[in-house]
Structure formats: structure tokens, C-alpha cells
Chain A
């Protein structure tokens, strides 16, 4: 049962434009959400996180938005750069068990 879903397997964006990656979850007990970026042949790298007490967290070009009522979060990258081309995973956890639930990933391609 996939509790965290990324319904878009891939996304292409022009350099300089905004990239929006989406993630939906089903478990209302999740209270901590993260985005990871993964390059081929490397492990996922932590990008940004958000607690359920917030609806927005910003770090440089990266902003994560959380809509708890819709059980939806999104990652905005602006402006997008070719080096952002990677697979992006969203993850969620709840305050028990310390288990992260990952989505299936969205492959972002930023076209120069």
C-alpha cells in the first residue's frame, strides 16, 4: 500500500522557469515531510523538509508547500537550473516508529 504517491514519473522544464513537483499522501498521521534529490549511482540527498505545523518552508531556490487538508505537498524550484536534473523523492513520517515512507520519485529534466 503506497501511502506516499508521486503521480508524475517525469517532468521537463526550461532553464530559468519554475519546476513544481507534487506529492500526495494518504495517512493523516504523517507530521513530517521531506524532499530528497537523487542522482544516478548516488544515494538520495536531503533537500528540504517541513513539519506539519507549517504550510511553507523556503531554502534558497527551493520552497516546499504543505496542504494538510488536501494531504498534498509540493516542491517549487525557481529558477530551475540544469544541475537540478535528478530524481526527486518525497518522504513522510509520523511521530512513532521512525519510518520514512517514500514516493516513487519524479525525474526532473531541466533543459538548457
Chain B
């Protein structure tokens, strides 16, 4: 079974540009999550999509946005890039939104975004 895939592996942009990162979840998973891991920091929650809708977002400015497509894949868009946006962006997927029993998120390899 294929895991979570992300593209591109690396992305280099300059300040003010826009970046688009893509994620394909594990087959059968409907929830997609985006995290940012900046240097020296833990994973910071960005966005959660389930069944095509944004369900929750972390403490990030509106220039971080995304969407989920009917096939449950997702893209993350970062507008007006700033130097501090340089980070590893990780996507994760899970079977369904949290039921209280506990659902595990499975991660992709990440996209390394560098803003020059």
C-alpha cells in the first residue's frame, strides 16, 4: 500500500512569491493535515481538511491556505513568501476525523521550502 506522497521534494522561491505544495493521502484516508517544521522547532499544526472542507487551522496568517480535492488530495498555498517561511512542510493523512477512540496520522516525507 502506497504511503502519503508529497511533491515537490524541494522548492526554492524568493520573497514575495507564492508556493504551492501538494499531498496525496493514503488510499482510503479522507483527512489531510499540514504541518510546518521550522529549524529547531517541533511540528506546528497548520491546517486540517476532511471531506473537502477546512476543519481547523493553526495559528498561522491567512496567507497560508489550502484546499482538498474530491480525490482527497490536497495542496497548501503560501502567498507573499517571507524568509521565515523556510521550513519542512509535512503532510499527514488519517482514516477519518477524530472519533474519540484515537486515530493515527501517517506522514509523508515532506517538502523542503527555501525562501531566498
Contact = CB atoms under 8 A, between A and B. Distances in A.
Nearest to B41: A104
Interface residues of A, number: 29
Interface string B1-35: 00010100000000000000000000000010101
Interface of A: 2, 4, 6, 31-32, 34, 36, 41-46, 49, 51, 89, 91, 93, 95-105
B104 A98 contact: no
Contacts of A95: 98, 100
A91 B94 CA distance: 15
Contact of B108 (A2, A43, A51): A43
A26 to B, nearest CB: 14
Contacts of A34: 104
Contact of B106 (A46, A93, A101, A104): A46
A85 B103 CA distance: 26
B79 interface: no
A33 to B, nearest CB: 9
Contacts of B105: 46, 100
A43 B42 contact: no
A104 to B, nearest CB: 4
Given A49-B104, A98-B31, A43 B4 contact: yes
B109 A98 contact: no
Contact of A105 (B42, B44, B94): B42
